[in-house]
Structure 1
Amino acid sequence: MRKNNIRIQPAYRIILFCMLVLIFVSCRKNSDMQGEGEVFLQGSWTAESVPYQEQLLRFELIDFKFNCDSVFVKIKTHSAAKMDLDSCYGSGEWVEYARGTYAVRKDSLIIQATYTHENWRQKLSGCHHIGQYLPRFKIVKQTTDSLYLENRFSHNPVQLRKTKTTRCIPQKVY
């Protein structure tokens, strides 16, 4: 009986070794802890009005709660125009919720969130939006108790007032 000996050429050994080293070096375990987020954003922010809201057919008042690198969003929509003959739109006012993470890059606030129910559980069906909530805001001006944003898609200004300040205590993410 003849034994089959497999010989790997030296060049292939070097390539195989380099590939294994690259795999082990490039992989890293994602942390199971929340990031710290931006200190100046930590807390609750509310929009009480929109410029020229009396002349607008539709506008949104947005409330944010920033906790470490997480964000909780409450979107109160007001519509003067009848949208549909549907109970979802009621008398032209409705509220939607979203939960996710955020990042600040230079003058941009980037939110990556999912629409949820009022209890912050993912929304898979029902009225209004389902799926991802991905707004992009330009940070126009910030002070300790106010934040002026501009929606990058609609160019609508968002004037926020800080209602509560919190401190980030990173939690374990499940």
Structure 2
Amino acid sequence: MQGSGQAYLQGEWLQDTSALQKRLVTYSLYNLKFTCDSFFVGMQSYTSVNHGDDSCVVNGRWAEYAKGVYEQKNDTIHLKGLFSNANGSYKVPNGCFRSGVYEEFFKVSKLTDSTLRFSPTSSVIPFNTHLVKRYTCNPKPL
């Protein structure tokens, strides 16, 4: 059976933009979905750098997706899965951007019932998210 995950995470969380991010050369905005012990993340990236004739970056924007399972220890969640397409299907290792294993660690702070702060271990810039939709975990057979 699928694990139940963390009750407070169940749902869809959208990153709030900040003035700091808009001053960066390149930044990403996260859309995180947690269902039971599974996750799906969409990363919308933006850059002001001119990449020339690049069919992967359109008007300084591109998107990447990943899905997998997560676990929490103390205040840190570990996301581990694979890069995927927008529809959740496995992304083959060719084409634009990253493919294969996706792995990220976030320190999570609960600010309110509908606001979380994620601090990625791969970055020094934390970001806040707000709850878009609450989910209820109904574990399914694997």
* TM-score calculated relative to the size of structure 1: 0.77
Query: What secondary structure, in the 3-state scheme, does the structure 1 residue paired with 2:5 have?
Result: coil
Kindly indicate which of the two structures has a greater share of residues assigned to helix: 1
1:72 aligns with 2:37: no
2: distance between equivalents of 1:36 and 1:150? 23
Which residue number corresponds to residue 136 of structure 1? 105
Q: 1:105 to 1:83 in 2, by over 3 A?
A: farther
Q: Is the 8 A contact 1:97 1:116 kept in 2?
A: yes
Is 1:116–2:84 an aligned residue pair? yes
Q: Distance in 2 between matches of 1:128 and 1:50?
A: 25
State, as a whole percentage, how many aligned pairs show the same letter. Answer: 32
> Which is strand-richer, 1 or 2?
2
* Residue from 3, 8, 12 that aligns with 1:44: 12
Instruction: State the 4+ residue runs in structure 1 displaced beyond 6 angstroms.
Output: none
**Shift in CA distance, 131/51, structure 1 to aligned 2, threshold 3 Å:** farther
**Could you tell me how far apart the structure 2 residues matched to 1:51 and 1:101 are?**
31
Which residue of the partner structure matches residue 129 of structure 2? 160
1:119 offset after TM fit, Å?
1.1
* Residue 23 (structure 1) aligns with: none
Query: How far off its partner does 1:118 sit?
Result: 1.1
- Whichever residue aligns with residue 112 of structure 1, its letter is K
Deviations 1:9-40 (A, max 9, x none): xxxxxxxxxxxxxxxxxxxxxxxx10000000
Higher relative contact order (CA 8 A, sep 6+): 2
Q: What's 2:138 paired with?
A: 169
Amino acid at match of 1:68: C
Q: Is the 8 A contact 2:13 2:130 kept in 1?
A: yes
SS at structure 2 position matched to 1:54: helix
Q: Quick check: 2:14–2:131 contact (8 Å CA) kept in 1?
A: yes
Structure-2 separation of matches of 1:107 and 1:172:
28
Please give the TM-score of this superposition, normalised by the length of structure 2.
0.94
